[in-house]
Chain A
Amino acid sequence: MWIPIALSRDVPAATTRAVILDGMELVVWRGETGPVQIWEDRCPHRGMRLSFGFVRGNSLNCLYHGWQYGEGASCERIPAHPDLVVPPTIKANAYASTETGGMIWVNLPATDGPPPVFLAGRPIASLAIAAPAQTIIDSLGQPAAEAQLVETKLDGISLNIGWHSPGTDRTMLHVVALDPGNVESKALIALHQLRASAERTGP
């Protein structure tokens, strides 16, 4: 299942971001160039969360001991042993990812389907709501068939709203505006009303 877990804008080059998806801790990161990558947020050495790590070039380095991971999640360098050729079995746990429609997507649990394709838009915000996704999305319209995204209008603004669930009764919306023009503040007001109403309704 392809699930949007962040706005592309919110993971700039050479940064990491921690995301929780259904209780699973993920690190979303981007090298100085190259594609976005999504891994389990755990260094295989001592279990340190890789989202605390630092990006150099196109590698992600663990904060704890500087173990360096490259594209494909293989460990390339263990600083405590500078001359060691790292065995290829030492890898972070990587998941398939893609970027489309202004959002970062993970294929988790993995399915055979191709990654989705959506129109690019103007990123508005990711928004945490203390309510289950179902009650929020039902009020917005019919989601896309193969992806967690609904195209909708809020206060007259056309939006693509993707979502993921960090845990029970919690939802993160990822919102992209499809209209040209300066709609950010108007969209944000509409989204905050949506949140207030969803949290009032309760699970």
Chain B
Amino acid sequence: MTVEAAALDQWYTIGAINDFAPGVSTRRLLGHDLTITRTRDSFAVDNLPVRTDYGHLWTTLGAPQRPLFDIPESREPDRRAVYCGAVRVRASGLRLIENFLDLAHFPYVHTDILGIEDKPEVARYEVEQRRDVDELWATKCEFFQPRAAASAEGGQMSKYTYRVTTPFNVMLYKTPPSAPDRWDVIALFVQPVEPNLSIAHPYMLVIDDVSTEAELIGFQQMIFLQDKIVLENQRPLLLPLQPGRETPTRADLSSVVYRRWLKEKALTYGTEARTDLA
């Protein structure tokens, strides 16, 4: 299967640094088998470009027009970097990103944790395509959460900002229960293995000196496994870009802008074949 330039010319993670044993291992990306050689702290991925940032190993099968995106918070010394483990999901990676951007599912998929059924309303928020950096930003997002994080002790109106840096990489900024003037960073790096098979690498940079590592990982894994049930049971597993295949409402503004952005890029990997184009 040939992969189009829009998908090839991007940076992808192929796993957390700590998950690579010394010597040779293999991973799969966009339907290609990769051979990774680790010698102490240096990595080779076939003859491809390599980055080791944010605790993960990154590579590309094409020629990205931009360097790997920056996460300035990764340089703040008081943040804890938390690796939540790789999760294999039988769905398009684009579906994972879209679900990550979604507020309206909190009361139903993460019931009594990230939302409650009595407060399901999604207030108006804003989404912009920042053309200078080619990123999507959703701002002014708010949602009532009974248990917003591992360290939460009561409900709060959580504020969110979402940042989509590439079609398969996304992060959010969220008010932490312990430091209302700072933002927790939760990233989801998606490794598209096949069009309908992905490995999710959730990664957090949090302000939390209360929770144990196990509590932070446990919380994030609980949330992600709840999402996985939905993601593997959406039909189709691939993301539909054809108008009329699904039914967005105002709460889905992030999804609408994300899909428009993908179309603008002519990205098709992980999308459903369209029948409405000449």
* Residues in chain A within 8 A of chain B (CB atoms): 25, 41-42, 44-49, 52, 62-66, 78-82, 84, 90
Contacts and interface: CB of A to CB of B under 8 A. Distances in A.
B249 interface: yes
A48 B121 CA distance: 20
A155 to B, nearest CB: 40
A62 B103 CA distance: 15
Given A66-B117, A80-B251, A81-B121, 18 more contacts: A41-B235, A42-B235, A47-B234, A47-B240, A49-B233, A52-B229, A64-B105, A64-B109, A65-B105, A65-B108, A79-B107, A79-B117, A79-B120, A80-B120, A80-B121, A81-B249, A81-B250, A82-B121
Given A25-B235, A42-B235, A82-B120, A66 B107 contact: yes
A66 B120 CA distance: 9
Given A49-B235, A90-B247, A63 B120 contact: no
A82 B104 CA distance: 12
B122 interface: yes
A9 B25 CA distance: 53
A65 B235 contact: no
Contact of B233 (A45, A48, A81): A48
Given A63-B108, A65-B108, A81 B235 contact: no
A81 B252 CA distance: 11
In the A-B complex, the 5 residue pairs with the closest CB atoms: A79-B120, A80-B251, A80-B104, A80-B122, A47-B234
A95 B121 CA distance: 31
Contact of A64 (B108, B121, B236, B248): B108
Contacts of B250: 80-81
30 contacts: A42-B235, A44-B246, A45-B248, A45-B249, A46-B234, A47-B236, A47-B240, A47-B245, A47-B246, A48-B230, A48-B233, A48-B234, A49-B235, A52-B229, A52-B233, A62-B108, A63-B109, A64-B108, A64-B230, A66-B108, A66-B120, A79-B104, A79-B117, A80-B104, A80-B122, A81-B122, A81-B249, A81-B250, A82-B121, A84-B249
B43 to A, nearest CB: 38
B108 A45 contact: no
Nearest to B230: A64
B21 to A, nearest CB: 38
A81 B121 CA distance: 6
Interface residues of B, number: 24
Interface in B87-139: 103-105, 107-109, 117, 120-122
Contacts of A64: 105, 108-109, 230, 234
A41 B233 CA distance: 10
Contacts of B247: 44-45, 90
Q: Which of A25, A41, A64 has the largest number of chain B CB atoms within 10 A? A: A64
Contacts of B235: 25, 41-42, 47-49
A79 B109 CA distance: 13
A45 B246 contact: yes
A79 B230 contact: no
B251 A81 contact: yes
A25 B236 CA distance: 11
A79 B111 CA distance: 14
Contacts of A80: 103-104, 120-122, 249-251
A81 B245 CA distance: 21
A84 B247 CA distance: 14
A44 B246 CA distance: 5
Contacts of B121: 79-82
B115 to A, nearest CB: 10
Contacts of A65: 104-105, 108
A104 B164 CA distance: 47
Nearest to A52: B233
A4 B126 CA distance: 49
A33 to B, nearest CB: 23
